[in-house]
Structure 1
Amino acid sequence: MQRVSLSVPIGAGVVCAVVGFTSSFAVVLTGLRAVGASPAQAASGLLAACVLQGLGMLALAIRFRMPITLAWSTPGAALIASTGVVEGGWPAAVGAFVVTGVLIVATGLWSGLSRLIALIPAAVAQAMLAGVLLPLCLAPVTALSHHPWAIAPILLAWVVLVRFSPRWAVPGAFAVAVVVIVVDLVRSEASIGSDQLLPQVVWTTPHLTVAAVTGIALPLYIVTMAAQNIPGVAVMRTFDYEVPWRPSMGVTGLTTVVGAGFGVHALNLAAISAALAASPDADPDRNRRWVAAVSAGVAYLVIGAGSAAVATLVVLAPEGTIQAVAGVALLAPLAGALSAAAGAPGDGGQRTAAVATFVVAASGTAFAGIGSAFWALLVGIGVHLLLRPRHPHRRAEVSSPDGS
């Protein structure tokens, strides 16, 4: 086996962090603002998420000598963006984030909860995610019709990079968005105070409400598990790594609980970006790839220091600019969710249940103060149970991600 310099896994870890941050931070800020966070509270959430997932990666990678990388829940951020402000406002949303973290910890401690999540039809869970993502992915089209000169360069950069360097497509679109924002600031002669560029955390005391727990916490937990943690384990297995399930859920759940008051919505195992640190490209020697995860963790700590400046740019951005970046960032998850939902077998009512779930989730309609994601999940499971055969063939035993 070829021995390479440590600079290779270190560089892979830095790329993992940079791509992970620039590809989805706009979605996180959009979600936090949608559930009632002020610009300062949303910036605090971004900073706390960077720091906590960086520390979490360092702890797991050094302890288990594996390239275990963490991320914030991008599908979860999209979900709360579609949910909007619930009864109790931002403090209630923070309370829901705490509940989500507690559920993630409980999943690691009790395998029965993992099996319960696995019992939710995959097509229904993916259809709910697709319905949540659709309105956000339509935002670039709407923004283009209203602000073509600001949005067109962003979309053009994304299209070109998708063709030649897909990994950097969304970061490239964000880079063009920064240029658009700077040009707009120069033209409007707007000023930015130095205090707006310095990282700072803002504490919010959590408040529990029924609407927030049912409308935010439960769907956020299910989406985070189904679209992040379970796929994250699967990705690592493709590179012959068996993720320590209980410690990983403990670290991600506890960091979510600790960070919730500072604006963190949910932390989890990385899924798509996990391959950047775990593949042979990070290091031919699989026993040294954990260095890439350590490097990614350190990089996130550094990125966190500059997150306030990024959040300030987002606040000052021309209308539709950040929505365009968030929209293109979510196209790949939307494609994956639609593919999984559409691939449901036509018999047994699974496809019908998936379609019903998608329609309800995409409607964005709230009922009794609870967002559409929760109702979409209930409708999908209900239709699935109603239409499934009365005497189905013996179902294969459902196992949790930890193999139990």
Structure 2
Amino acid sequence: MLKDFSLSALVTGFVSVLVGFTSSVAIIFQATQNLGATPEQTASWLWAIGIGMGVPSIVMSLATRKPILIAWSTPGAAVIGAAAAAGHLTMPQAIACFLLNGVLIAIAGFSGGFEKIMNRLPLPLASALLAGVLARFALDAFVAIPRNPLLVLSMAAAYVLGRRFWPRANVPVILVIGVAIAAAQGLLHMELVPWNITTPVWVTPEWSVPALIGTGIPLFIVTMASQNLPGIAALRVGGYEAPVSRIIGWTGVSTFLLAPFGAFGINLAAITAAFCIGPEAHPDPRRRYWAPVSAGFFYLLVGLFGATVAGLFAAFPKELVLAVAGLALLTTIGNALSAALADEGYREASVMTFFVTLSGITLLGIGAAFWAIVAGAIVLAFRRKAV
């Protein structure tokens, strides 16, 4: 396996963790604040999700030799934060909801029910779903240009030149150039980073039926619909057939075991998975599994150092993170759109799926990925009846 390791996979794994962490860690901090968590409990949450993402990413990727990246449920964190802000949830009640979420995810995975639903999803619609999820990051990269033209345009220029002259090292070069320019501009504030090792904190769950129904069930639904659904789509669009049921089942087990320490939802990565699946990880698809393995080690560092690593990632300027994410995903977005629109029979449904996903709408507490598939399926069904 070591002969399959590459520098591009290592950097891609780092970028995946960097983008995933910096783009949504604020939601976790907000949720813990709304729950009245102590700084030690907040760091424990980071420890739990770091371990919960890192170990499965490493083990599953090495076992299958496929790029299986695990992440936390970003919309799930938003559900928790909203319930806590409304006064409907305490920390012990939240832990009970995390445990319920883990059990339900494990059942959905090991039973094979969720995979059966996914097997009925046409590849063009899955491709449109993936393109819609990722397009937001590409848009954000270009929207960031006015805020720091030198930084973002220099990274964009490196991307264009890299595609021509150093395609295998394109993402690493973009990242190095971005860090160098940000440092020259005085935008890296490493002196504010705290340095300490995290100690996990156990919180005994409090079982509340209203909390389980009002928060626990929605937490499970948004995790499956907004994370695992596009996560499986990303794998299949990338050409990888993986044991989906077992993977999802084990993420449920991870969630359950680490829930008392703050693991609210462990699941397949959706957006950041695209980094590990795309050619930036390695030109040879058979060697890309080292990207999520590398990401897994960085996740373990997140867990070990908790708030320290969060502060380290926060030291990078936002424009740098947006530019790296958006530029690194352009090739994957292009491939997904090509697959989504290639078959005329699926074209209208794919376009509908793409734009509903891109809209980012949330209805009944469920994210756009789920509603995009519903909309695409309705358009496809009516078109076939008309034909």
TM-score (norm 1): 0.66
Q: Is the 8 A contact 2:65 2:286 kept in 1?
A: no
For structure 2, the 5+ residue unaligned runs are 34-38, 206-210
Q: Is the 8 A contact 1:23 1:329 kept in 2?
A: no
Q: CA deviation at 1:223?
A: 1.0
Percent identity between the two aligned chains: 26
Moved more, 23-32 or 273-282: 273-282
1:46-91 Cα shifts (integer Å, max 9, x gaps): 76555445433665588x6x645531359x86xx59x899742698
Alpha-carbon separation, structure 2, partners of 1:128 and 1:154: 27
Moved more, 207-216 or 322-331: 207-216
Question: Secondary structure of the residue that 2:69 maps to in structure 1?
Answer: strand
Alpha-carbon separation, structure 1, partners of 2:61 and 2:176: 30
Alpha-carbon separation, structure 1, partners of 2:338 and 2:285: 28
Going from structure 1 to structure 2, the CA distance change for 1:370 and 1:178 (only over 3 Å counts) comes to same
Going from structure 1 to structure 2, the CA distance change for 1:178 and 1:214 (only over 3 Å counts) comes to same
Alpha-carbon separation, structure 2, partners of 1:43 and 1:158: 36
Question: Secondary structure of the residue that 1:170 maps to in structure 2?
Answer: helix
Alpha-carbon separation, structure 2, partners of 1:14 and 1:163: 19
Going from structure 1 to structure 2, the CA distance change for 1:133 and 1:299 (only over 3 Å counts) comes to closer
Question: Secondary structure of the residue that 1:120 maps to in structure 2?
Answer: coil
What residue in structure 1 maps to residue 315 of structure 2? 316
Q: Please give the residue correspondences for 1:340-359 in structure 2 after superposition, counting only pairs within 5 Å.
A: 340-343=339-342, 345-347=343-345, 350-359=346-355
What residue in structure 1 maps to residue 372 of structure 2? 376
What residue in structure 2 maps to residue 397 of structure 1? none
Alpha-carbon separation, structure 1, partners of 2:27 and 2:217: 19
Going from structure 1 to structure 2, the CA distance change for 1:202 and 1:132 (only over 3 Å counts) comes to farther
1:240-276 Cα shifts (integer Å, max 9, x gaps): xxx6666544434423454563466524697874797
Q: Is the 8 A contact 2:21 2:313 kept in 1?
A: no
Going from structure 1 to structure 2, the CA distance change for 1:322 and 1:358 (only over 3 Å counts) comes to same
Alpha-carbon separation, structure 1, partners of 2:234 and 2:199: 30
Alpha-carbon separation, structure 1, partners of 2:312 and 2:164: 28
What residue in structure 2 maps to residue 399 of structure 1? none
Alpha-carbon separation, structure 1, partners of 2:104 and 2:134: 23
What residue in structure 1 maps to residue 20 of structure 2? 27
Q: CA deviation at 1:132?
A: 2.7
What residue in structure 1 maps to residue 123 of structure 2? 122
Q: Is the 8 A contact 2:50 2:301 kept in 1?
A: yes
Q: Is the 8 A contact 2:141 2:319 kept in 1?
A: yes
Alpha-carbon separation, structure 2, partners of 1:378 and 1:93: 30
Which of 230, 233, 237 pairs up with 1:226? 233
2:186 pairs with 1:191:
no
Alpha-carbon separation, structure 2, partners of 1:317 and 1:190: 9
1:163-186 Cα shifts (integer Å, max 9, x gaps): 333343233323333334434447
Q: CA deviation at 1:331?
A: 2.3
**Partner amino acid for 1:169?**
N
Q: Is the 8 A contact 2:109 2:248 kept in 1?
A: yes
1:334-365 Cα shifts (integer Å, max 9, x gaps): 2233222212x333xx3222212222222234
What residue in structure 2 maps to residue 161 of structure 1? 162
Q: Is the 8 A contact 1:256 1:265 kept in 2?
A: yes
Alpha-carbon separation, structure 1, partners of 2:224 and 2:164: 37
Alpha-carbon separation, structure 1, partners of 2:283 and 2:107: 27
What residue in structure 1 maps to residue 360 of structure 2? 364
TM-score (norm 2): 0.69
Alpha-carbon separation, structure 2, partners of 1:316 and 1:109: 40
2:142 pairs with 1:141:
yes
Going from structure 1 to structure 2, the CA distance change for 1:85 and 1:149 (only over 3 Å counts) comes to farther
Question: Secondary structure of the residue that 1:27 maps to in structure 2?
Answer: helix
Moved more, 362-371 or 324-333: 362-371
Going from structure 1 to structure 2, the CA distance change for 1:179 and 1:265 (only over 3 Å counts) comes to farther
What residue in structure 2 maps to residue 175 of structure 1? 176
Alpha-carbon separation, structure 2, partners of 1:129 and 1:211: 23
Alpha-carbon separation, structure 2, partners of 1:329 and 1:183: 23
Equivalent pairs counted in the alignment come to 358
Q: CA deviation at 1:143?
A: 0.8
Alpha-carbon separation, structure 1, partners of 2:378 and 2:14: 37
Cα RMSD between the aligned structures? 4.8
Moved more, 269-278 or 297-306: 269-278
Alpha-carbon separation, structure 2, partners of 1:360 and 1:368: 15
Alpha-carbon separation, structure 2, partners of 1:191 and 1:330: 31
Alpha-carbon separation, structure 1, partners of 2:225 and 2:267: 12
Q: Is the 8 A contact 2:101 2:219 kept in 1?
A: no
Question: Secondary structure of the residue that 2:385 maps to in structure 1?
Answer: coil
